[in-house]
Amino acid sequence: MGFMTTTLASTHPVETVHGHRVPTGLFIGGDWRTTDSTFTVLDPATTGHIADVSDAGAAEALAALDAAHAVRDEWRRVTPRARAGLFGEAYRLLRSRAEAFAAVMTAESGKPLAESRAEFNLSAEFFLWYTEQIAHLHGTYAPASHGGYRVVTTHQPVGPALLITPWNFPMLMIARKAGAALAAGCPVIVKSAKETPLTCALFVETLREAGFPAGVVNLVHTTSSSAVSAALMADPRLRKISFTGSTGVGSTLLAQAAPGILNASMELGGDGPFIVLEDADVELAAKQAVVCKFRNAGQACVAANRIIVHRAVAEEFTKRFVALTEQLRVGNGFDDGVDVGPIISARQLDGVSELVDTLRGLDSELLTGGNALPGDGFFFAPTVFRVNGRPTELCSRELFAPVATIYQVESTSEAIEFANDTRYGLAAYVFTRDLSRAVAVGERLDFGMVGINRGIMADPAAAFGGVKASGLGREGGHDAIYDYLEPKYLALTVDEEAGLA
């Protein structure tokens, strides 16, 4: 490889987070760089200071694009085996840092350590999945329809990619996007979420140590997301945007991508219906609903958003679900036995209180919770409402909070109709003991993913993503890498008689 290798500058700025050293600068062209302005990362469980990190503007973002663009040809020419070798080393290093990643994630996102460890494991598995795919991409060779030449197709990397990640799964989102992009041969510019930049920094530093060449991986943190992404997207050298976040921001980014016909992948919001039919294993459904709803304090795109229960089992389900919810222990994610951590920020906590006020004002019944918890952190009690009717205020509303809403239906067809009555189409869930019925219902749900008798389903082997306002493209599975590749067709003239005499 003719790349520059990267070395750690002696002035390399770091912060020690729960005993682990994490870079606090921007990573551009193989160097950790600082900026004059910084912003503070807070621990949502204590509101305490964790670190001050560099705050990029458009100039730093464009410097990252300069670096990515400069190496794009060299990076795509790295042989599959050599690229897979770098990935293998990175995977080994990632695994050796499992506890550092878990601690940093819990510190800045607040999620319980057990959830951070689970997220780390899933992230590492995604990375491994793409490692394994690198040497297994195929092209085609076929005769043209009427002979005379050959149709040869291969795939080429799209080019420099901007990866914008959210705070709720700080490691999974970067591992899933950067894994696919780098495996495909695209250099990347990662934009972290300002609430959780340190997990991204640790990830990028691990890739640097694994030997990823300068310019191939770049990282910017910023409080000016819109200025940074607008500058990058207006530059024709950027060839791809992959975004995970809210549907509103996704829609703005798609509009910004339009003038340059920029290749775009979008993982957006959800309104997950969680359907419990009358023949369901109610105990299993209640347990899975608790995980699906309260994991990450409800701040998940695939969370159960509307729990839709057949009248025949509504009473029993609700009783079990509320009892399990009341057993959840809320607290600092570093404490033993904690199930639910804090909400990410004061602003989000205010949003949860407003949501609960809205729910109280509807034809509904508060079954448990309903209030913020005293103390320094941003804690909210796990909350359950029974909601009567189909209030328009809740149509297509992503709750994104530790607040569950239970609705009752009279039939399977009503459940399907209500479930589909949303602008979103990310994840849905069905609980029934009848497999044929599960498949029939699953096929009628307008969602990209359907969990059958389970409330968690992310896996590297599965195509993760949504339809309708939940997004474009998939992450994971056999095809996700093609989101970062473009087919290239070579028409090969063949004189079929040449040289045969």
Q: Is 168 in the site for ligand NAD (CB under 6 A)?
A: yes
Active-site position among 186, 200, 292, 301: 301
Binding map of ligand NAD across residues 284-323, x = CB under 6 A, - = no contact: -----------------x----------------------
Question: Which residue spans within 375-426 are E strands per DSSP?
Answer: 383-387, 403-409
Q: Is 41 in the site for ligand NAD (CB under 6 A)?
A: no
Q: Is 244 in the site for ligand NAD (CB under 6 A)?
A: yes
In the complex, the smallest distance separating the C-beta of residue 327 from ligand NAD, rounded to whole angstroms, is: 26
Cα 281–Cα 283–Cα 284 angle in degrees, nearest 5: 65
Q: Which is nearer to ligand NAD, 169 or 378 (CB)?
A: 169
Partners of 218 in the β-ladder: 189
- Only segment of 7-15, 68-76, 225-233, 309-317 that touches ligand NAD (CB under 6 A): 225-233
SS3 content of the chain, % helix, strand, coil (to 5): 40, 25, 40
Q: Is 246 in the site for ligand NAD (CB under 6 A)?
A: yes
For residue 468, what are the CA distances in angstroms to 213, 387, 447? 38, 25, 8
Q: Is 251 in the site for ligand NAD (CB under 6 A)?
A: no
Whether 267 is a known active-site residue: answer yes
For residues 474 and 460, what is the distance between their CA atoms, to the nearest angstrom?
11
Near ligand NAD by CB under 6 A: residue from 160, 166, 298, 425: 166
Near ligand NAD by CB under 6 A: residue from 56, 193, 308, 415: 193
For residues 208 and 93, what is the distance between their CA atoms, to the nearest angstrom?
11
Whether 476 and 127 have beta carbons less than 8 Å apart is answered as: no
Q: Is 169 in the site for ligand NAD (CB under 6 A)?
A: yes
- Only segment of 135-143, 209-217, 263-271, 380-388 that touches ligand NAD (CB under 6 A): 263-271
Whether 121 and 129 have beta carbons less than 8 Å apart is answered as: no
Within residues 343-402, the interface with ligand NAD by CB under 6 A covers: 398, 400
Active-site position among 267, 292, 398, 475: 267
Q: Residues of 46-58 as b/e, b for ≥16 C-beta within 10 angstroms?
A: beeebbebbbbbb
Whether 301 is a known active-site residue: answer yes
Longest dimension (CA), the chain: 91
The token pair at 372 is: 């913020």
Q: Give the count of residues interacting with ligand NAD (CB under 6 A).
A: 28
For residues 26 and 38, what is the distance between their CA atoms, to the nearest angstrom?
11
Q: Is 112 in the site for ligand NAD (CB under 6 A)?
A: no
Q: Which is nearer to ligand NAD, 107 or 253 (CB)?
A: 253
Near ligand NAD by CB under 6 A: residue from 24, 133, 206, 229: 229
For residues 349 and 328, what is the distance between their CA atoms, to the nearest angstrom?
19
In the complex, the smallest distance separating the C-beta of residue 343 from ligand NAD, rounded to whole angstroms, is: 11
Cβ neighbours of residue 392 under 8 Å, at least 6 residues apart? none
Near ligand NAD by CB under 6 A: residue from 53, 61, 94, 249: 249
In the complex, the smallest distance separating the C-beta of residue 192 from ligand NAD, rounded to whole angstroms, is: 7
For residues 190 and 174, what is the distance between their CA atoms, to the nearest angstrom?
8
For residues 299 and 374, what is the distance between their CA atoms, to the nearest angstrom?
20
Residues carrying an active site annotation: 267, 301
Footprint of ligand NAD on this chain (CB under 6 A)? 164-169, 191, 193-194, 225-226, 229, 244-246, 249, 252-253, 267-270, 301, 398, 400, 426, 466, 471
